Structure 1
Amino acid sequence: MKLQHNLGGLEGLDPINTEVKVFVEPWEKRIFGIHTAMMALSNHLDEAIPDYQIDQVPTTFKSFWSWGHLRMGAEGMHPFEYFRLRYYEKWLGGISGFFVEEGYITQEELDTRTAEFLADSAKAAAPLPIGGDTAIDTQVDKYLREGDSPLRPYPNPPKFKVGDQVRVKNVSPADHSRLPGNLRGRVAKVVLVYEGAFTYFFPTADGLGTPMPVYSLAFKPEDLWHESLIDPKSVYYNDIFEVYLEAA
C-alpha cells in the first residue's frame, strides 16, 4: 500500500484533524449520496445477499462499484495529494476518475464543468432537480435499509482456533489491500473466530476475493509501537482475513 495507508507506528504526523462535523460543506452531502446511489445500483447486486433484482431497475449506471473501489481510489492517489485534500475531496476525485474511466463522461467534459462551477459559486450550490424514476428510488432505499452482506457459506473449517498463535504474513503491498502495514510479520493470539466466511468486493493481488474465515487477533502493543507511546496494560485488537495469516 502507499504511504498514506501504512501509517501504523509512525510519529510526527501533525497536525491532526479534529473535525467533528460529518459534513462541513453542502456539496459533501451530495458526493456521499452519489456514492451511496452507485453502490445501490451496482451491477454485482444480482449475486448479492440479500437478493436484488438489479437487472429490472431502469438505471443507466451499469458498472461495479463498492466501498472497496472507493478505498482503492484513495490508495492510488499520490501521497502528497492524499494529505493535502479533505476527506470528501478524496471521494470526489476517486468517483470523478471512475466515471471518466468507465466512459460516462470525458476528461474534457469534466474539466469544462469544473471550470464553470469554480467560476460561478451560485451554480455549484444550486438545488438538485426533484423527481426521477420511482423504481430507482425504491432500489436505493432498499439498499440503505438492507445493505450488501459479505457473509457467505464456507464448506471447510477455519485453519485456526481460539488460543492459537498466528503470524501475519509479510505480503508485498498491492494496489489495494485490507492488511494494515504495521502488522506484517507480527505475532498475535486468536481471540475470536467469526462464524461463517466473508467475501470481499473484488479480488486483490494479495489474495482477497473468495470467501474465507476472519479472525479477531490480540496483539501486544509493545510489538507494534515504542514503549513511550503505549499503556503497558493495553491490548490491541484487529480483525484479519485468513489469507493474511500463518501458524506462528
Structure 2
Amino acid sequence: MKLQHTLGGLEGLGPVWTETRVFVEEWEKGIFGIHTAMMALSPQLPLPETSSVFKTVWTWADLRKGAESMNPFDYFKYRYYEKWLGGISGYFVANGYITADELEAKTAEYLTDPDKPLPEGGAPEIDARIVQYLVDGDSPKRDVDPKPAFAVGDTVLIKNVPTVEHTRLPGFLRNKTGVVTEVYPGAYVYLTDTGADGIGDAIEKAMPVYCVKFDPADLWPGNAESNFSLYADLYAAYVAEPVPAAAAA
C-alpha cells in the first residue's frame, strides 16, 4: 500500500476499471492456484510435513510486497494477476528456487511452443495439506489478551510509520486524528515476516485492532462532503498516544 495504493482524495486520475469477473483469462486461475499452494505449504502453519521443496514463509503480505515494489508507473500498466505473477516470480528467484536466467529460458521455451505439456509434480500428502489449508483457513486472529492501550471514545493520532516493504495504513490517514469507536476482541497478527512499517519480525506479534472514525473535512480540507464519517480498522502499531481533550478540541 505504497504510492499507488494511497490515492484517497486525489482527482483527475482517469476512468475507473469496473471489471467484475474474478478471472478474466484462463491462465489467471493457475496463478491463483500457485499462490494458494504456497500459502498452504508455508512452514509457519501447524500442518503435517510434506515432501515439498517449498520451505520458506509465504503470506498475503509477501504477495503484496512483490507488486508494491514495482515502479508505480509500471504498476498501473499491468493487470491484477500479472502483478501477482511478477511478485511470485521475483520471490522464487530471491529465495533460490530458480535463477533469473532459468526463468527467462523456461519462459522463452513455452512462448515458442505454448502447447508443450507442463511438467508433472506434486504428491498425495502435498495435495492433502493444501486441501486441509483450504478447509481450516488462515485467520490473523489469535486467542490472547493484548490489553488495549485505548478505549472507545479516545481521540488518537495516527502515526506516520516508515513504509519499508509493505503497509496496511492508507496515506491519507497519516498524521490525522480520529476517535476510537470500537476495540475488537482478541489480537491480530500482521501476517508479514519482515520489513513492514518498521515493525520487524512480526509474523506472530499479535496486537489489538481499533475501529477509528475520521471527519472527512479533516482528511481533505475544503474538498469533502458533509454529513458522513470515514471509518478505518487500524492495527495498534499505527495508533499513537491518545490526544488530550483540550488539544483535540
With normalisation by structure 1, the TM-score equals: 0.88
Q: Is the 1:70–1:95 Cα contact (8 Å) retained in structure 2?
A: yes
2:80 is aligned, of 77, 87, 93, to: 87
Q: 209, 215, 220: which is aligned to 1:214? A: 209
Instruction: State the Cα deviation string for residues 167-207 of structure 1 (Å, max 9, x = none).
Output: 10122332211111110011111111011111122242432
1:110-129 → structure 2 map (5 Å cutoff): 110-123=103-116
Is the 8 Å Cα contact of residues 169 and 234 (structure 2) preserved in structure 1? yes
- Residue of 109, 118, 131 corresponding to 1:141: 131
Distance 1:37 1:63 in 2: 12
Shift of 1:156: 4.6
CA distance in 1, matches of 2:53, 2:209: 36
Task: Give unmatched runs, 5+ long, in structure 1.
Answer: 47-51
CA distance in 2, matches of 1:227, 1:156: 39
Match of 1:63 in 2: 56
Q: Which residue number in structure 1 is paired with residue 7 of structure 2?
A: 7
* Corresponding residue SS for 2:131: helix
Give the letter aligned to residue 239 of structure 1.
Answer: D
- In structure 1, the residue matched to 2:246 is none
Gaps of 5+ in 2: 244-249
SS in 2 for 1:122: coil
Contact 1:177–1:206 (CA under 8 A) maintained in structure 2: no
Matches within 5 A, 1:1-248: 2-46=2-46, 52-53=47-48, 56-123=49-116, 132-201=122-191, 202-203=193-194, 204-207=196-199, 209=202, 210-225=205-220, 227-228=222-223, 230-246=224-240, 247-248=242-243
Residues 146 and 187 in structure 2, CA contact (< 8 A), matched pair in contact too: no
SS in 1 for 2:45: helix
3-state SS of 1:89 partner? helix
Paired residues of 2:145 and 2:187 also in contact (CA < 8 A): no
The answer on whether the counterparts of 1:217 and 1:237 sit within 8 Å (CA) in structure 2 is yes
Identity %: 51
- Residue aligning to 2:247: none
Cα distance in 2 for partners of 1:175, 1:184 equals 17
How far the C-alpha of 1:155 sits from its partner, in A, is 4.2
- Cα deviation, residue 235, structure 1: 1.6
Q: CA deviation at 1:43?
A: 1.1
Structure 1's 14 and 139: CA in aligned 2 closer, same or farther, altered over 3 A? same
1:147 Cα deviation from its structure 2 partner: 1.2
Indicate if the aligned counterparts of 1:154 and 1:212 stay in contact, CA closer than 8 A. Answer: no
Deviations 1:103-126 (A, max 9, x none): 111111111121222333434xx6
Alignment-mate amino acid for residue 185 of structure 1 = N
Cα separation, partners in 2 of 1:131 and 1:91, compared to 1, 3 Å: closer
Aligned length: 237
Instruction: Name the amino acid aligned to 2:177.
Output: V
Output the aligned Cα RMSD.
2.0
Residues of 2 paired with 1:212 and 1:175: CA distance? 20
Q: Tell me the TM-score normalized by structure 2.
A: 0.88
